[in-house]
């Protein structure tokens, strides 16, 4: 991910955090997050390690939805895997993996 896309991720993440803290005095329920909000929030967790070419981990820039999805499903299905990615992937549903893969691939196309 590039610095520009990271700023976008963190802006969305900040907005979600502020919205969660900003309920009015009547404690009205917050409207449900959109699919894009959820996709962006899930994808933001990837940026900690996969922020770009200057990081120790492989950059996700330019990878297709299929490549990203296949990798995540592979990590999730390797039950004897002990890396951080194996542990993280086990916590994602198939819908989560699809959302993250779609979002990251689309983000790479925009830049």
Task: Give residue-wise pLDDT tens across range 57-77.
Answer: 888 888 999 999 999 999 999
Give yes or no for residue 93 having a pLDDT over 80: yes
Q: Is the dihedral of CA 55, 58, 63, 68 positive or negative?
A: negative
Q: d(Cα 82, Cα 69) in Å, to the nearest integer?
A: 19
Q: Which two tokens stand for residue 53?
A: 């070419």
pLDDT in tens, 15-24: 444 444 444 4
- Quick one: fold of 3-25+35-110? Cytochrome Bc1 Complex; Chain D, domain 2 (1.10.760)
Helix (H) or strand (E) holding 85: helix 84-90
- Average pLDDT on 71-93 reads 93
């Amino acid at each position: 991910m590039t610095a520009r896309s990271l700023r976008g991720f963190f802006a969305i993440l900040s907005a979600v955090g502020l919205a969660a803290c900003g309920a009015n005095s009547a404690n009205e329920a917050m409207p449900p997050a959109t699919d894009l909000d959820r996709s962006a929030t899930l994808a933001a967790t990837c940026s900690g390690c996969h922020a770009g070419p200057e990081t120790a981990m492989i950059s996700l820039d330019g990878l297709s939805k299929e490549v990203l999805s296949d990798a995540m499903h592979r990590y999730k299905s390797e039950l004897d895997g002990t890396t951080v990615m194996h542990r993280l992937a086990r916590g994602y549903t198939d819908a989560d993996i699809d959302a993250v893969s779609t979002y990251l691939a689309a983000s790479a196309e925009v830049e």
